[in-house]
Amino acid sequence: MAETDTAASTAATTPPVDTSSADSVTSAPPPPAKREIKRWGDEEDDPPEEPEQNEAPSTSEQPELEVAALKITENKFLDDPEDSNISAVTADDTPYTSASTFEDLNLSEAVLKGLYVEMGFKKPSKIQAITLPMILTPPYKDLVAQAHNGSGKTTCFVLGMLSRVDPNVKAPQALCICPTRELAIQNMEVLQKMGKYTGITAECAVPSDRERNTPSPNYRAPVTAQIVIGTPGTIKRWMSIKKLGVSRVKILVFDEADHMLAEDGFQDDSLRIKRDTEKVSPNCQVLLFSATFNERVTNFVSRVVKRGNNQLFVKKEELSLEGVKQYKVYCPDELTKIEVIKTKIFDLGEKLGQRIIFVRTKNSARMLYQQLSDDGYSVTAIQGALNTEDRDKIIKEFKEGLTQVLISTDVLARGFDQQQVNCVVNYDLPVKYSPGPRSQPLEPDYEVYLHRIGRAGRFGRKGAVFNLICDDNDELVMSKIEQYFDIQVPEVKNTDEAFEEALKTAGLL
DNA sequence: AAAAAAC
């Protein structure tokens, strides 16, 4: 419970924020009769997925939630000029009013208590204000929602699931599919905290070593939990062995939806789960959330989601977080990279918060871990080849603050929410593996880049990112990333002074 | 290559 202060902070903040939003919170003169436009608070754009301990982020750096309208049907919904950057929101012909308070949403007393007491929230973040009415207002339409990293997307779908469950029906009614075990567990923790007073039951469907070693499908009883959050393989398996019945499912959520529906992601599994669910629950509402939706996935996604047409998107040029300063560091060779990690990220980074170092392969995670520990540095490393027990332990230690520096593959690139992380290192830049001959230059993986750097700067906090640039291809990849997101990433020389200066600029020292 | 997890 760090509630007292957390509460105050995350939610609270109230704001001194830039006038743009604060004032209008209440003011909104209801224009046309039917739709009154209220403002949402902007200061705390997001109750981070796991919002507990926070101090109020300084308002100055709050990320703007710029939402570009994908499709604006009738009405322009937002007539306040200050909101002009937020277009979006369109429902075929259903008008929605954004929620300026949680009370506007008809949530149960138990859920409200969870929000205020357990989570410490005071009012909806921008993405919550916009999407919650869409999620909770009948007829329940599907939704595709994009919002910045750390802006509170988890709360949107967790509230959606909690609100739509009928407490009297003891069967799965809400399903949430996530790309990794860690994210599923984290989302479950948020759900249990937020839903603490509701009595709603939930179960996590993730791989476990125990389960893997159990040959018989009778190793478990049928799921009676009302909400199930898990990874695609386990969900699929439970469904196929008839332990997870989906005939009562009313709401199906895909977290990190762009990846869940990407061809090189979990498309097959996701579509199968969706199809099998809809077969017996044709009216099931589908929610897709992510911070990234590239053009290709977006086209596909729009075809997949049929019930209604509520969509929210953010232009890629407005997607990187203001509060997270990005840098590049030229390292002539691998040894220099390791030296930078030791002298800058560890030694000089003592004064920083927690740090995550992203590497490309499981093997480099192991190797880097080995080299650093051999040299006496205190660090842990996580990657998918570890057994589940070890993965859980490493995450637990990091979340408890027992470890300060964590090496990770892209298992943690998406969704991982630890507010004390204020520094991210791309030891290897994220690249896509293009099919065909190995000789081609590697293309940047823009989405992964954005997700990785979003591990810092949760909830509008400040952060710093260091990209280690080793060869010509790295340099090319980096410049493409800058171009794509329309950002400039300055160089930091490999000296203590330069790093200190960079950290100061980022507001971390 | 990473991720999930195995019909």
Q: What is the pLDDT of residues A195-222, one digit of tens each?
A: 999 999 999 999 988 777 766 666 788 9
Q: Looking at the C1' of nucleotide B5, which residue has the nearest alpha carbon?
A: A233
Using a 7 Å CB cutoff, list residues 137-196 of A near strand B.
Answer: 179-182
Instruction: Find out whether A239 and A246 touch, Cβ atoms under 8 Å.
Output: yes
Does some domain include residue A129? yes
A316 within some domain? no
Angle between helices A232-240 and A267-280 (to 10 degrees): 40
C1’ B7 / CA A227, Å: 27
pLDDT score at A220: 81
Considering the domain architecture, whether residues A242 and A340 belong to the same structural domain is answered as no
Asked if strand B comes closer than 7 Å to A363 Cβ, the answer is yes
CA→C1' distance for A120 and B3 (Å): 33
Give the residues of chain A that fall short of pLDDT 70. 1-93, 214-218, 434-440
Same domain, A294 and A379: no
Give the three-state DSSP class for A241: coil
- DSSP type of residue A313: B
Residue nearest to nucleotide B6 (CA to C1'): A233
Nucleic strand B within 7 A of Cβ A240? yes
* A367 strand B contact, CB < 7 Å: no
Q: CA torsion A107→A109→A112→A114, rounded to 10°?
A: -130
> Last residue of a domain, which of A311, A336, A352?
A311
For A387, the domain range is 324-505
Question: Do A290 and A369 belong to one domain?
Answer: no
| Nearest nucleotide from residue A382 CA, by C1' atom | B2
pLDDT of residue A208: 86
Residues lying close to strand B (Cβ under 7 A), chosen from 391-430 of chain A, are 409-411
Asked if residue A142 lies in contact with residue A304, where contact means CB atoms within 8 angstroms, the answer is: no
Q: Is the CB of A366 under 7 A from strand B?
A: no
Residue A54 lies in a domain: yes
Shared-domain flag, residues A277 and A409: no
Q: Is A264 within 7 A of strand B by CB distance?
A: yes
Question: A294 and A361 share a domain?
Answer: no
Q: A38 with A157, same domain?
A: yes
Which residue, A354, A503, A463, is CA-closest to A418?
Answer: A354
Within a domain: A412: yes
Q: Is residue A488 in some structural domain? A: yes
Residue A212 beta carbon within 7 A of nucleic strand B: yes
> Do A290 and A331 lie in a common domain?
no
Q: What is the pLDDT of residue A199?
A: 97
Could you tell me how far CA A166 lies from the centroid of its own chain?
27
Asked whether residue A317 is assigned to any structural domain, the reply reads: no
Determine the Cα–Cα distance for residues A299 and A379; give it in Å rounded to an integer: 41
Strand B: which bases are under 7 Å from protein Cβ? 1-7
Nucleotide nearest A430 (Cα, C1'): B1
Number of domains in chain A: 2
Does residue A434 lie within 7 Å of nucleic acid chain B, judged by its CB? no
Q: Which residue is nearest to nucleotide B1 (CA to C1')?
A: A361
A361 beta carbon to strand B: under 7 Å? yes
Between CA A20 and C1' B7 the distance (Å) reads 57
Checking each nucleotide's C1' against the CA of A409, the nearest proves to be B2
CATH number, domain containing residue A218: 3.40.50.300
- A293 and A364 within one domain: no
Q: Which of residues 73-102 of A touch strand B (CB under 7 A)?
A: none
Are residues A132 and A280 located together in one domain of the fold?
yes
Nearest residue: Cα versus C1' of B2: A410
Residues A298 and A330 in one domain: no
Same-domain check for residues A350 and A299: no
Among A289, A311, A333, give the residue marking a domain's end: A311
Compute the distance between CA of residue A478 and CA of residue A466 in angstroms, rounded to an integer.
11
Nearest to A192 by CA among A256, A255, A121, A110: A110
- Same domain for A273 and A345, yes or no, is no
- Please identify, among A311, A345, A373, the residue that sits at the C-terminal boundary of a domain: A311
- Report which residue type is found at A51: P
Is residue A270's beta carbon less than 7 angstroms from any atom in nucleic acid strand B? no
CA distance A347 to A237: 46
Q: Which two tokens stand for residue A345?
A: 């990220």
What residues contact A109, with CB distance under 8 A and at least 6 apart? A197
Tell me what pLDDT residue A80 has.
32
CA pair distance A259, A414, nearest whole angstrom: 10
Is A278 a domain residue? yes
Is residue A87 one of the residues assigned to a domain?
yes
* Cβ of residue A231 lies below 7 Å from strand B: yes
